[in-house]
Structure 1
Amino acid sequence: MARIPYFDLEKAPESYTRLIASRPPLNLYRMLPHAGKAAEGFLALGGAILRENTIDAKLREIAILRTGILSGASYEVHQHKRVARSVGLSDEKIAALEKNADRSALDETETMVLEFTDQLVLHVKAPDAMFEALCARLSQGQVAELVLVIGFYMLVSRFLENFEVDIEPPRTIE
């Protein structure tokens, strides 16, 4: 159960409700308005990360799921397993993202993204060799996007966990 009541969306600013109008009815969107105007910036950055990037969606979802797993964010992991499947990530690859899991389902680039995510979440900065290897495989812009993905979903995970946002009942989101 959430630590504070969800925001009454009927009292949310019109500028906020307009931003969530086409989105699924997630509890996250019912908690965010407590943050005031920052909630709108949060939604704008999240939307850009999910819809206006050049990084492959499967690699993005690997980074998001691993960040959620390392952060202990069950809501985030629950939601993004659905998203990961929708962009074509197999159940075997999703399972490989768990702590201490067999990674044999992942290809070389996916493994690099997983290890890069681990470094950023756990140690802030990737070692030079890892960074250079990733830059040899992805464009500089895609590496920049990946860093933003990981950082943003660390924020999301911490928000969700600190407010104990509830996972929606089954079939709320199809």
Structure 2
Amino acid sequence: MTETQPARIPSTGSVRELGPIGWIIAKLGARVIRAPRFHLMDVIGQHRLLLLAWLPYSGVLLNWGKLSRKDAELVILRVGHLRDSEYELQQHRRLARSRGLSDETQAAIFAGPDSDGLTDRQRVLITATDEFVVTRSMSQETWSALASHLDRKQLIEFCMLAAQYDGLAATLATLRVPLDFRD
């Protein structure tokens, strides 16, 4: 979000707007990401029921799914890159580093599947993410390649993860959620 594009739904830290549970989630989330505010939670938290439904789903995909955390971060970074989601990239570049994706590997992820320094598995995940996000489907060739690396549960989760972060990127852009960090 730029200074010339104000937020469409103002970020709030108000207990009245977020409710006590949403307020606690936003405060704890800010502490976890080490930021003064967690603007995503400050915005989504204004729809209390939606926040309470969405948060566990997101948490499973991000932290407790069948894909490795490293693979999940690769997919999230690629979706953020494809959707030019500065918010997602700002959050997940940091998290990806903590999950084993170096700055060099991240640069390769952004450069695409033909970039040097990627494993075959990473190339397939990037190609599959590109097709899924851009075409809303996947060719049989790409699906077969992905299926050679992932089991059934991981294949399902891959689709849900890519769709979740694609939708989140659209939501962040449409609502113009402010960045949490200055960098």
TM-score of the alignment, normalized to the shorter chain, above 0.5 = yes
RMSD of equivalent CA atoms: 2.0
Aligned twin of 1:14: 20
Residue identity matched to 2:20: E
Q: State the TM-score, normalizing by the size of structure 2.
A: 0.84
Matching of residue 92 in structure 1 with residue 98 in structure 2: no
Aligned counterpart in structure 2 of residue 134 of structure 1, from 134, 140, 146? 146
Q: Residues of 2 paired with 1:96 and 1:137: CA distance?
A: 20
Aligned twin of 1:46: 58
Query: Residues 67-87 of structure 1, C-alpha deviation per residue, up to 9 Å, x if partnerless?
Result: 011111111111100010010
SS at match of 2:179: coil
Q: State the TM-score, normalizing by the size of structure 1.
A: 0.88
Following superposition of structure 1 onto structure 2, how do residues 153-172 of structure 1 map, counting pairs within 5 Å? 153-170=165-182
Q: 1:54, 1:142 within 8 Å by CA — same for their partners in 2?
A: yes
The structure with higher relative contact order (CA 8 Å, sep 6+) is: 1
Q: 1:69, 1:99 within 8 Å by CA — same for their partners in 2?
A: no
Q: 2:85, 2:173 within 8 Å by CA — same for their partners in 1?
A: yes
Query: Residues 67-115 of structure 1, C-alpha deviation per residue, up to 9 Å, x if partnerless?
Result: 0111111111111000100101011110112256861111000010000
Q: 1:69, 1:77 within 8 Å by CA — same for their partners in 2?
A: yes
Aligned twin of 2:71: 59
5+ residue gaps in structure 1? none
Q: 2:90, 2:181 within 8 Å by CA — same for their partners in 1?
A: no
Q: Residues of 2 paired with 1:100 and 1:139: CA distance?
A: 24
Aligned length in residues: 171
SS at match of 2:123: helix
Identical aligned residues as a percent: 25
Q: 2:79, 2:129 within 8 Å by CA — same for their partners in 1?
A: yes
Q: 2:67, 2:157 within 8 Å by CA — same for their partners in 1?
A: yes
Residue identity matched to 2:7: A
Aligned twin of 1:2: 7
Aligned twin of 1:116: 128
Runs of 4+ in 1 over 6 A off after TM superposition: none
Q: Residues of 2 paired with 1:114 and 1:98: CA distance?
A: 9
Aligned counterpart in structure 2 of residue 78 of structure 1, from 72, 90, 93? 90
